[in-house]
């Protein structure tokens, strides 16, 4: 099979129509040690191309820096064009892999397999916690759970001293002020993932569609993560959902979440999000690591924070030329290295727990 592909590639090169050219040889790049067990086997295509999810863009920027340091002369150009565009560009052969907030759909998977001449794999490489951020004067410690959040974000609970909120925050003084919901007015993977959490964890109190647009029917819209963070900072008694780094920079309170197991409210930090990721179930087969995110949203693991956005790298399991396969493997291996993972919390992401990282490493190593 691989011999036939190489022969076909030679013919295409001769005709001048090869879609992905091997910009370097197997000896390109430094190939030095990078992160011990995750040392990148550098080489292959020098100038990789990818596009897609903007939610993972800052993580990819850090991964590219590590990649360029580990593999001299190699780089990746990543365009944060949005998840849908990223999947379409990958399927159309314009990029070497895609970044996406969602795995390939049932309609997209056969098209991606045709593009790859092999199955395409969904590899969840980047996780970003979603904060429930609030601005309630005098309240610096707030606990909420899925059913209560569902009712807040669809207008079923309208005041901060509602009995449902008070029951979760005994001993705290909550104002009788109206709750002001701020939501993303633009299409957003963060909105979709937050609404998926509400669907899964609210015990039916949030039956609205989990689309990329907010479906709750209450509140005020603001564009982008910075927009909702600013609106909440400037509006007393308001609440929103936003990537954790934006909440931190805006100086907002971040609610502790009681997960589906009940028990103590769980704060948002790398350790508690990592505990939820550790137990997430994989619905894909073999090295296709498509996730069952409901298993994260409804985790009952003690001290596991249940609201996070997972973003995938969508790759060919067997590329049609060796150079692209080796280049993609080198980049992803570097992204999984300790050095690359260590910088993620500064950008609002969560380093992968070891057991989950090993599963990804096995899948990356299997790319051909």
- As a whole number, mean pLDDT of residues 104-109 equals 96
Q: Where along the chain do its domains lie?
A: 2-127+311-365, 129-274
Q: What share of the chain is helix, strand, coil (3-state, %, to 5)?
A: 40, 20, 45
The reported pLDDT for the residue numbered 188 is: 86
- List phi, psi (to 5°) of 341: -70, -30
Average pLDDT over residues 89-102: 96
Beta-bridge partner residues of 97? 50
Segment (H or E) for 163: helix 163-168
pLDDT, one tens digit per residue, over 153-198 is: 999 999 999 999 999 999 999 999 999 999 999 988 899 999 999 9
Bridge partners for 243 per DSSP:
130
Would you say residue 279 has pLDDT above 70?
A: yes
Whether the pLDDT of residue 1 is over 50: the answer is: no
Would you state the pLDDT for residue 347?
A: 87
Question: Residue 164: which H helix or E strand, with range?
Answer: helix 163-168
Is residue 38's pLDDT more than 90? no
Average pLDDT of the segment spanning 29-43: 52
Quick one: how many helices (H) and strands (E) in the chain?
A: 14, 13
CA distance 123 to 126: 9
The fold adopted by the segment(s) 129-274 is D-Maltodextrin-Binding Protein; domain 2 (3.40.190)
Print burial letters for 234-268: b (CB count within 10 Å at least 16), e (below 16). eeebbbbbbbbbbbbebebbbbbbbbbeeeebbeb
Tokens of 273: 């999000």
For the chain, give the percent of residues with pLDDT over 70.
89
Cβ burial of 50 (10 Å; 0-12, 13-18, 19+) is buried
Q: Which pLDDT value is given to residue 341?
A: 96
**Parallel, antiparallel or unpaired: strands 253-254 and 120-135:** antiparallel
CA distance 83 to 65: 22
pLDDT band with cut points at 50, 70 and 90 for residue 40: low
What pLDDT score does 39 carry? Answer: 61
Q: What is the pLDDT of residue 254?
A: 98
Is the fold of 2-127+311-365 the same as that of 129-274? yes
Is residue 19's pLDDT more than 60? no
Q: What is the pLDDT of residue 137?
A: 97
pLDDT at 13 over 50: no
Structure token pair of residue 251: 């100086």
* Residue 10 pLDDT grade (very low, low, confident, very high; cuts 50, 70, 90): very low
What pLDDT shows up at residue 346? 87
Q: What is the pTM (predicted TM-score) of this model?
A: 0.82
Please report the pLDDT score of residue 189 as a whole number.
85
Whether residue 96 contacts residue 313, with contact meaning beta carbons closer than 8 Å, is answered with: no
Residue 36 pLDDT exceeds 80: no
Q: Which of 344, 364, 362, 363 is nearest to 127 (CA)?
A: 344
Q: Is pLDDT of 55 > 70? A: yes
Q: Is the pLDDT of residue 63 over 70?
A: yes
- Residue 143 pLDDT > 90, yes or no? yes
One of 3.90.1150.10, 3.40.50.300, 3.40.190.10, 3.30.470.20 is the CATH number of 2-127+311-365, namely 3.40.190.10
Q: If residue 151 lies in a helix (H) or strand (E), which one and from where to where?
A: helix 146-152
Structure tokens that stand for 71 in this block: 């593999």
Mean pLDDT computed over every residue of the chain = 89
Q: What is the pLDDT of residue 25?
A: 30
Tell me the average pLDDT across 7-23: 31
Work out the pLDDT band at 237, boundaries 50, 70, 90. Answer: very high
Q: In the predicted model, is pLDDT for residue 67 greater than 90? A: yes
Q: CA–CA separation, 290 vs 104, rounded Å?
A: 9
Q: What is the DSSP letter of 302?
A: T
Query: Which pLDDT value is given to residue 326?
Result: 98
């Amino acid at each position: 099979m691989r011999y036939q592909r190489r022969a076909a590639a030679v013919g295409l090169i001769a005709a001048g129509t090869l879609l992905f050219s091997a910009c370097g040889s197997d000896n390109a790049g430094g190939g030095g040690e990078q992160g011990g067990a995750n040392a990148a086997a550098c080489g292959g295509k020098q100038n990789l191309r990818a596009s897609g999810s903007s939610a993972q863009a800052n993580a990819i920027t850090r991964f590219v820096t590590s990649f360029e340091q580990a593999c001299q002369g190699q780089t990746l150009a990543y365009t944060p064009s949005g998840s849908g565009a990223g999947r379409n560009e990958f399927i159309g052969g314009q990029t070497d892999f895609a970044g996406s907030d969602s795995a390939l759909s049932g309609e997209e998977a056969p098209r991606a397999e045709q593009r790859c001449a092999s199955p395409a794999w969904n590899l969840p490489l980047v996780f970003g916690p979603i904060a429930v951020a609030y601005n309630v004067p005098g309240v610096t410690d707030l606990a909420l759970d899925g059913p209560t959040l569902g009712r807040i974000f669809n207008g079923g609970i309208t005041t901060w001293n509602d009995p449902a909120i008070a029951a979760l925050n005994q001993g705290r003084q909550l104002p009788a002020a109206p709750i002001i919901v701020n939501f993303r007015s633009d299409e957003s993977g963060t909105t979709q993932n937050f609404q998926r959490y509400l669907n899964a964890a609210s015990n039916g109190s949030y039956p609205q569609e989990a689309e990329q647009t907010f479906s709750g029917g209450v509140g005020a819209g603001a564009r982008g993560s910075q927009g909702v963070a600013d609106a909440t900072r400037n509006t007393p008694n308001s609440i929103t959902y936003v990537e954790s780094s934006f909440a931190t920079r805006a100086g907002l309170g971040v609610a502790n979440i009681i997960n589906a197991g009940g028990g103590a409210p769980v704060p948002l930090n790398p350790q508690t999000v990592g505990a939820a990721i550790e137990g997430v179930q994989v619905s894909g087969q073999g090295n296709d690591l498509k996730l069952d995110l409901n298993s994260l949203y409804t985790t009952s693991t003690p001290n596991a924070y249940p609201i996070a956005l997972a973003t995938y790298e969508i790759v060919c399991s067997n590329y049609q030329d060796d150079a692209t396969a080796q280049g993609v493997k080198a980049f992803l291996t570097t992204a999984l290295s300790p050095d690359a993972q260590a910088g993620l919390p500064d950008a609002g992401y969560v380093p992968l727990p070891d057991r989950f990282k090993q599963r990804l490493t096995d899948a990356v190593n299997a790319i051909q």
